[in-house]
């Protein structure tokens, strides 16, 4: 009998036993090696903060149950194919599956992890995929002056990708001075909000705070654009559209991973790009905490209460 982590009700989780179906000829049986807790989204789900209007939009691909609970939620899973088509058996794969010791899904739902990417880093594929989509939405230009506000998993990943564009000036901005260490590991300049460089052509906002969005608009040059990546859940947010917003012809644009931002690419191609990028060991800086699968019911409340500072919490599974 396998086990899965469920949010039983807002603020409380438990491990449940799961009986797996028999795999069909086009299915794979995957034994989980590790999974990742995406701090922003998953703690929002854990707290019961998904608004009713967004229940359908926020569904994970293999979610069971309904918000606010009981619900089995998650989408950063890496495991080994124990049974399936010959070309996949024995392969390490990534899947948008919740926290569960083993699972059966269609073979088309898993993506082989390149040999250059360790399984423990491959859990970041979903996060880096979101960052890839954000960069496609942002459409940076050679020589742009850029700020990324919010040094969480997604914001830090976006800053890392944008810093690779030639002649760009990229700053990762956050209120937590400890995130300077993460920025340094990623090879990106860091600044506190009050010291951030202005006159930006592009600001990517990922702090999920009103103050962060206001600062994003302040940092823009005339005709500049904010790409809004933050997910606010059930909170209402005030946006400062007075002052210089109209006279400077500023733009706020949303970006969300549910839609591929390039019409010439599909979901599988976008995920493959993210996995290839994870060959860079610098991304390891985003994994700043680790626990055992059996500890999730006690660790998630602490993460949701900000008692733990992990960007991405890596969950390790006992070998069977």
Fold observed for domain 2-124+278-316: Quinone Oxidoreductase; Chain A, domain 1 (3.90.180)
Q: What pLDDT is recorded for position 159?
A: 98
CATH 3.40.50.720 fits 127-254, yes or no: yes
Query: How many angstroms separate the Cα of 9 from the Cα of each of 16, 157, 209?
Result: 14, 31, 25
> CA 210, CA 60: separation in Å to the nearest integer?
26
263 phi and psi angles, rounded to 5 deg:
-65, -15
| Spacing of C-alpha 8 from chain mean position | 23
**Residue 212 corresponds to which tokens in the numbers above?**
């962060």
DSSP-assigned letters across all residues of 184-203 = HHHT-EEE-GGG----EEEE
Q: What pLDDT score was predicted for residue 244?
A: 83
- H or E segment and range at residue 28: strand 27-38
Q: Which residues are paired to 7 by β-bridges? A: 13, 71
* Percent of the residues in the chain that have a pLDDT greater than 90, as a whole number: 84
Is residue 234's pLDDT more than 80? Answer: no
Give the per-residue pLDDT at 236: 83
Q: pLDDT tens for residues 156-210?
A: 999 999 999 998 999 999 999 999 999 999 999 999 999 999 999 999 999 989 9
Mean pLDDT of 133-157: 96
**pLDDT of the residue at 320:** 65
Contact status, residue 141 vs residue 201, Cβ threshold 8 Å: yes
pLDDT for position 17: 97
Q: Which residues contact 159 (CB under 8 A, 6 or more apart)?
A: 148, 151, 170, 171, 172, 183, 186, 188, 204
The larger pLDDT score, comparing residue 237 to residue 96, is at 96
Radius of gyration, alpha carbons of the chain: 20
Q: What is the pLDDT of residues 244-292, one digit of tens each?
A: 899 999 999 999 888 999 999 999 999 999 999 999 999 999 998 899 9
pLDDT at 144: 97
Q: Is the peptide bond before 68 cis (omega within 30 degrees of 0)?
A: yes
Domain boundaries, the chain: 2-124+278-316, 127-254
Q: Which helix (H) or strand (E) holds 22?
A: none
Is residue 309 over pLDDT 90?
no
The CA–CA distances, whole Å, from 274 to 1, 131, 135 equal 33, 8, 12
Interatomic CA distance for residues 95 and 35, integer angstroms? 10
Higher per-residue pLDDT: 241 or 220: 220
What pLDDT score was predicted for residue 301?
Answer: 95
Name the pLDDT band for 74 (thresholds 50, 70, 90).
very high
Q: What pLDDT shows up at residue 258? A: 84
Q: What is the pLDDT of residue 129?
A: 96
By percentage, how much of the chain surpasses pLDDT 70? 99
CA 168 to chain centre: 24
Tokens linked to 269: 């191609």
Taking residues 138-146, report their average pLDDT.
96
The residue written with tokens 């260490």 in the block is: 181
pLDDT score of 22 more than 90 = yes
pLDDT tens string 79-116: 999 999 999 999 999 999 999 999 999 999 999 999 99
Give the pair of three-digit tokens for residue 234: 């059930």
Give the span between the Cα atoms of 215 and 240, in whole angstroms: 10
Label residue 34 by pLDDT band (50, 70, 90). Answer: very high
Q: How many helices (H) and strands (E) does the chain have?
A: 8, 17
Mean pLDDT to the nearest integer, 228-256: 87
The answer to whether residue 233 scores a pLDDT higher than 80 is no
pLDDT for 53 equals 85
Average pLDDT, the chain: 94
Q: Is the dihedral of CA 48, 50, 56, 60 positive or negative?
A: negative
pTM, two decimal places = 0.90
Query: Roughly how many angstroms between the first and final C-alpha of the chain, as a whole number?
Result: 11
């Amino acid at each position: 009998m396998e086990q899965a982590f469920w949010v039983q009700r807002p603020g409380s989780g438990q491990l449940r036993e799961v009986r797996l179906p028999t795999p069909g000829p086009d299915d794979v049986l995957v034994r989980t090696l590790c999974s990742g807790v995406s701090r922003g989204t998953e703690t929002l789900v854990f707290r019961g903060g998904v608004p009713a209007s967004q229940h359908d939009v926020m569904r994970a691909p293999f979610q069971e149950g309904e918000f606010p609970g009981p619900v089995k939620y998650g989408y950063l899973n890496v495991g080994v194919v124990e049974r399936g088509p010959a070309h996949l058996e024995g392969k390490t794969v990534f899947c948008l599956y919740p926290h569960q010791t083993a699972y059966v899904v269609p073979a088309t739902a898993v993506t082989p992890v390149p040999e250059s990417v360790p399984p423990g880093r491959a859990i970041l594929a979903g996060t880096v995929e979101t960052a890839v989509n954000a960069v496609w939405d942002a459409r940076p230009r050679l020589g742009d002056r850029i700020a990324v506000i919010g040094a969480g998993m997604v914001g830090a990943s976006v800053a890392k990708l944008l810093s690779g564009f030639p002649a760009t000036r990229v700053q990762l901005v956050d209120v937590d001075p400890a995130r300077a260490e993460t920025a340094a590991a990623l090879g990106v300049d860091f600044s506190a909000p009050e010291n951030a460089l202005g006159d930006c052509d592009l600001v990517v906002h990922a702090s999920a705070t009103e103050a962060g969005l206001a600062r994003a608009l302040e940092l823009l040059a005339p005709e500049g654009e904010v790409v809004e990546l933050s997910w606010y859940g059930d909170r209402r947010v005030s946006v400062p559209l007075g002052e210089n917003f109209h006279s400077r012809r500023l733009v706020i644009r949303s970006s969300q991973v549910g839609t591929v931002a390039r019409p010439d690419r599909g979901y599988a191609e976008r995920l493959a790009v993210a996995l290839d990028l994870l060959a860079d060991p610098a991304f390891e800086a985003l994994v700043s905490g680790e626990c055992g699968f059996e500890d999730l019911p006690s660790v998630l409340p602490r993460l949701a209460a900000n008692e733990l500072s992990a960007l991405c919490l890596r969950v390790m599974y006992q070998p069977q």
